[in-house]
Structure 1
Amino acid sequence: MVISYFVQSIEPLLAKFGIHAPDVRVEQLVLDSREVSIKTAFLAVKGHNLDGREFIPQAISLGAPVIIAETEDEAAHGQCTMRNNTVIVEFYDLSQSLSALAAAFYDYPATKMTSIAVTGTNGKTSVVQLLSQLRHALGVKCGMIGTLGSGLYTEPFSLNNLNQTLNTTPDAVRMQYILADLAQQDVHQVAFEASSHALVQGRLNQVKTDVAIFTNLTRDHLDYHGTMENYAAAKRRLLKQPALKHAVLNAADPESQNWAKNINASTDIIWYGVDCDPTQWSGEQRFCCARNLETTTSGTSFDLYSSWGNSKVKLGLVGKFNVYNALAAAAAVMSMGTRFADVLSGLNALRPVPGRMELFTAPNSASVVVDYAHTPDALEHALMAVQNHVEKHIWCVFGCGGQRDTGKRPLMGAVAAQLAHHIVLTADNTRNETVANINADIQRGIQNNVDVTIIEDRKAAIRHVVEKAVAGDIILLAGKGHETYQDINGQRIDYDERAFVAQVLQELKA
């Protein structure tokens, strides 16, 4: 928790936004009226789903000394009124100024550390974690913010040491609060996931960003963005981050060319990829490439060619896409001055990210891989990765999220039918949709003559497959990854797939 160092008056804070307010001291800014206390300022924002101004009476009843309320009337900006013992300040277009307001309140915490933002459809979580691993191994105190949670990176790594985050990228106020907390813990590097939603909604507008990493662009979130063009443009907003010095781009993704065209002259480019020709880039554009990939049961080895040096690398991670993730992380830290020899040492010691192609084994049984893949592209990459390690059959157990992009469901069915020998359709986060309806959409894409079983209860589906598969098979459990819940009928039900798999395999050994 952020300590009381941030107790301050709203008078100098709001003066930065052209508002003359009374001298009222608060300890924290909050967006949720349920978090209001006599020490907080409530920001009543007109949001995407709820209008915070409707909760002003509740905030007053909870003793909020200050309420900063959004107004659409520019002339009303700065008007102050009293209601009971609460000062209400009108703030024009507050929703677009949240990041700036919170950054000012918490004394611009991102400026006190090196910050790396990672965006793309797939790989964000893995790259953030690998970045933290690489630098932590060199004695650098690292923070991470994203799907896995927020907090300090520690060894041995445990999800229990992180604070849970509701969204991939926290809201604009919470983001600055987390950064301030990390700054007070003397963190020197923070890596965070920058979702397309967050970029469009301005949650990162005033987060000083040293390095931007683009992983890839495939179909996702079209229920929100509408078109792939809008989705791609949302990702590219990361190039507008304050003080951006380096952009690390995936040479294999065509969208990277659009990034390169839109980069400011003050931002340099570092390309990364597999089997690419370094001579294609000018002397000003640096690179970090892998060639001559070899896969084994314990990982992947390759020859690393980069602007900083060349060497052989043995990576203890499964899948070609993890080579891309590792290269992105390596390119980013080298762009900031980390020695090539230190990066090599770190690459050779990298470990899998929890719930990202995480392998579970037991004697005389099939191997189980738990992965977060929940898009057609991610599922394809996960299944292609296990193909290089399987001796017999591939089993694919998955579902799709309810009340989300329905167009990707048959696409995921088609991918599974093409690359797996057996498919088991089950529940993911169904939300307020039925499993049967979701799985019917998936089945429309399954055209091949492939074995398909439907078991709606996810635990029952996993037990069924583990008992039926044999040694030499690989079971891919896709969609849940690190998550410790299922969202069903509006309720979050405790469910840790990684722990459940370990339990089932242990029972088989008994």
Structure 2
Amino acid sequence: MTISKILGLLKNEIIKSSINLPENFEITSIKDNCENVEKNDVFVAIKGEIFDGHDFIQTSYKRGAVLFIVESDKNIPEKASYIKVKNTRKALSEIAFNFSNINSDNFKIFGVTGTNGKSTTVSLIHHLLRESKKTSTLIGTVEIKINDEVIDEPYNTTPGSLKLASILKESKEKNVEFINMEVSSHSIEQKRVENIKFDIIAYTNITRDHLDYHSTFEEYKNVKLSLVKNLKKDGKVILNIDNLKKEELKNVDKDKIITYGFSEDADYVIKDVSKSIYQMNFKIKTPEGSELSIYSSIVGDFNASNITLALISTKLMGLSYEEIKHGIITFSGVPGRFQLVPNSKNLGFSVVIDFAHTPDALEQVLKTAKDITTGRVIIVFGAGGHADVGKRKIMGAVASKYSDITILTTDDPKDDDPEKIIEDVKKGIDVNKNFIVIPNRKTAINAAINFANREDIVIIAGRGHELFQLFAKGKKVRFNDFEVAHEIIENLRRSMKK
């Protein structure tokens, strides 16, 4: 890509520029991390929550960067070429996608946003497409896959625009037809998906989350709803009307909106849900007037909603109802999403791992637990640091309301004080109910499993698939809830045989 091409792409964003290179000078690559910069690269300075890329311009210059795209004049080396723009994130997205020679018309693109349910939905859609011999790329919180190959286990729900462009470029080279991705509020606000146009945009739900980043719930909600501006001209929007109303989607023709939910007003109505710890069956009333019987090994009313969303989406993608129903049966779920630890059943009770880290998600998981067990519900959970402080008390109240025994422990405190987080959560807990604080997470899980009797269910919530606990000053400790629970159960089984 030439400097002339970059200037042309960014012409509407440029505030000023100073170019000391020939306009036909060829740029080698685009970087937003100074550690990756090589000779003849463009360095795009991004202002993050913790670090400001403008502070690394001098380092990038010494490493060989020849052009800087900035929002501020600070730290630009004398005589260096630079382009000052209104928004470097938007500029990065524009040049990254152009540099990779991709656009949204290369694919059929599904994007799902919402507070909960995104990972299960995109993973199921990817599974259904692959079961039907379609080519598909999955971009999600748990993993990124091109067809059946895992190419990354990501840090963010939605990668940055450089990474997204790279994934789409590789997908194009492998002749992938469908792109299925989770879209976070952060990625919308930070322009990561600015250059992606979607064939289908889906909304699972919007409930309280990320109020550490968004100043109010209304702002968070509006950011989510604004994704519809990225809809292709002939695209469709799928909406869960148990949580959202059609009228909340501005500037979208109502005939482009398909609804689903437990409400009889939905286009696709969920009904007659029956579930156990191992399986679930329910019916979906379709707009054609038929009733589909659905069988699944993932359970819970929230998963009935996720499955219905996946069914509508893949129907729009060209799959038949019969293909979809078969694929649902063979879908085993997503790690850390209401995931049964199977060896617990040998002890007569159930241990389940779930990512629930918002009040709504925790409530849905605990309601499901109460529905599928005749015993007690035991919850082990905490709240994360560097996150919405206001939800901590609410989560404590939810845990008290729906569980028989609450064990409060440490989640990922990051740079927050773990004891302060626990105190915040305790403010919502009913002290007249069975309740204990065990800060060490492994000890807390061990206690919960040892408390359990036959037919009880232990829910270990908050971290799901995550492999490391995060502490102050960037400290990471290997800790996966599933692995820890499995080990504790095995030790208990061995001790019982002695």
TM-score with structure 2 setting the length: 0.90
**1:336-361 deviation digits (Å, cap 9, x = unpaired):** 33222212222222222110000113
Distance 1:376 1:92 in 2: 37
Q: Give the residue type in structure 1 aligned to 2:356.
A: A
1:339-378 to structure 2, matched below 5 A, reads 339-362=320-343, 363-378=346-361
Distance 1:452 1:119 in 2: 35
Q: Give the residue type in structure 2 aligned to 1:56.
A: I
How high is the sequence identity, in percent, across the aligned residues? Answer: 28
The reply to whether residue 454 of structure 1 matches residue 437 of structure 2 is yes
8 Å CA contact 2:3–2:25 kept in 1: the answer is yes
TM-aligned CA deviation for residue 153 of structure 1: 4.7
1:414-433 to structure 2, matched below 5 A, reads 414-433=397-416
The reply to whether residue 246 of structure 1 matches residue 236 of structure 2 is yes
Q: How many residues align?
A: 479
User: 1:114 maps to what in 2?
Assistant: 108
8 Å CA contact 1:291–1:302 kept in 2: the answer is yes
Is the partner of 2:332 in helix, strand or coil?
Answer: coil
User: 1:324 maps to what in 2?
Assistant: 305
**1:390-448 deviation digits (Å, cap 9, x = unpaired):** 12111100000113211111111111111111111111010122222111111111125
User: 2:14 maps to what in 1?
Assistant: none
User: 2:117 maps to what in 1?
Assistant: 123
Is the partner of 1:225 in helix, strand or coil?
Answer: coil
8 Å CA contact 2:246–2:257 kept in 1: the answer is no
Q: 1:493 to 1:297 in 2, by over 3 A?
A: closer
1:258-407 to structure 2, matched below 5 A, reads 258-260=247-249, 262-265=250-253, 268-274=256-262, 276-277=263-264, 280=265, 287-307=267-287, 309-362=290-343, 363-407=346-390
Distance 2:402 2:3 in 1: 59
Q: Which shows bigger deviation, 93-102 or 19-28?
A: 19-28
Q: Give the residue type in structure 1 aligned to 2:482.
A: R
User: 2:180 maps to what in 1?
Assistant: 191
8 Å CA contact 2:114–2:224 kept in 1: the answer is yes
Q: 1:427 to 1:47 in 2, by over 3 A?
A: closer
TM-aligned CA deviation for residue 35 of structure 1: 1.1
**1:124-150 deviation digits (Å, cap 9, x = unpaired):** 111111111111110112211121132
Distance 1:406 1:17 in 2: 39
Q: Give the residue type in structure 2 aligned to 1:503.
A: E
Indicate the RMSD between aligned Cα atoms, in angstroms: 2.3
Q: 1:389 to 1:242 in 2, by over 3 A?
A: closer
Q: 1:509 to 1:95 in 2, by over 3 A?
A: same
Q: Give the residue type in structure 1 aligned to 2:317.
A: M
8 Å CA contact 1:81–1:88 kept in 2: the answer is no
8 Å CA contact 1:45–1:69 kept in 2: the answer is no
Is the partner of 1:224 in helix, strand or coil?
Answer: coil
Is the partner of 1:230 in helix, strand or coil?
Answer: helix
TM-score with structure 1 setting the length: 0.88
Q: Which shows bigger deviation, 112-121 or 98-107?
A: 98-107
Distance 2:146 2:491 in 1: 34
Q: 1:93 to 1:238 in 2, by over 3 A?
A: closer
8 Å CA contact 2:28–2:39 kept in 1: the answer is no
Provide structure 1 residue ranges, at least 5 long, that are not aligned to the other structure.
Answer: 1-7, 74-78, 156-160, 282-286
Q: 1:94 to 1:361 in 2, by over 3 A?
A: closer
8 Å CA contact 1:81–1:89 kept in 2: the answer is no
TM-aligned CA deviation for residue 80 of structure 1: 12
The match for 2:419 among 436, 440, 451 is 436
TM-aligned CA deviation for residue 212 of structure 1: 0.5
**1:25-84 deviation digits (Å, cap 9, x = unpaired):** 3443211111111263211234454332221110121122x32322469xxxxx99854x
1:36-47 to structure 2, matched below 5 A, reads 36-38=37-39, 40-47=41-48
User: 1:76 maps to what in 2?
Assistant: none
Distance 1:297 1:49 in 2: 42
Q: Which shows bigger deviation, 465-474 or 47-56?
A: 47-56
The reply to whether residue 227 of structure 1 matches residue 207 of structure 2 is no
TM-aligned CA deviation for residue 152 of structure 1: 2.1
**1:134-188 deviation digits (Å, cap 9, x = unpaired):** 1111011221112113232528xxxxx3413222112222222222222222222
Q: Give the residue type in structure 2 aligned to 1:499.
A: E
8 Å CA contact 1:46–1:70 kept in 2: the answer is no
**1:102-140 deviation digits (Å, cap 9, x = unpaired):** 221111243211111111111111111111111111011
User: 1:69 maps to what in 2?
Assistant: 69
Distance 1:398 1:218 in 2: 19
The reply to whether residue 207 of structure 1 matches residue 196 of structure 2 is yes
Distance 2:27 2:320 in 1: 44
The reply to whether residue 487 of structure 1 matches residue 470 of structure 2 is yes
Distance 1:94 1:404 in 2: 25
Q: 1:80 to 1:60 in 2, by over 3 A?
A: closer
The match for 1:499 among 479, 483, 487 is 483
Q: 1:458 to 1:126 in 2, by over 3 A?
A: same
TM-aligned CA deviation for residue 271 of structure 1: 0.8
User: 1:3 maps to what in 2?
Assistant: none
Distance 1:496 1:482 in 2: 7
User: 2:53 maps to what in 1?
Assistant: 52
The match for 1:11 among 4, 22, 34 is 4
8 Å CA contact 1:68–1:91 kept in 2: the answer is no
Q: 1:234 to 1:93 in 2, by over 3 A?
A: closer
Q: Which shows bigger deviation, 42-51 or 414-423?
A: 42-51
Q: 1:418 to 1:392 in 2, by over 3 A?
A: same
Q: Give the residue type in structure 2 aligned to 1:252.
A: D
8 Å CA contact 1:44–1:67 kept in 2: the answer is no
TM-aligned CA deviation for residue 482 of structure 1: 0.6
1:18-167 to structure 2, matched below 5 A, reads 18=11, 22-38=23-39, 40-64=41-65, 66-71=66-71, 82-83=79-80, 87-154=81-148, 161-167=150-156
TM-aligned CA deviation for residue 506 of structure 1: 2.4
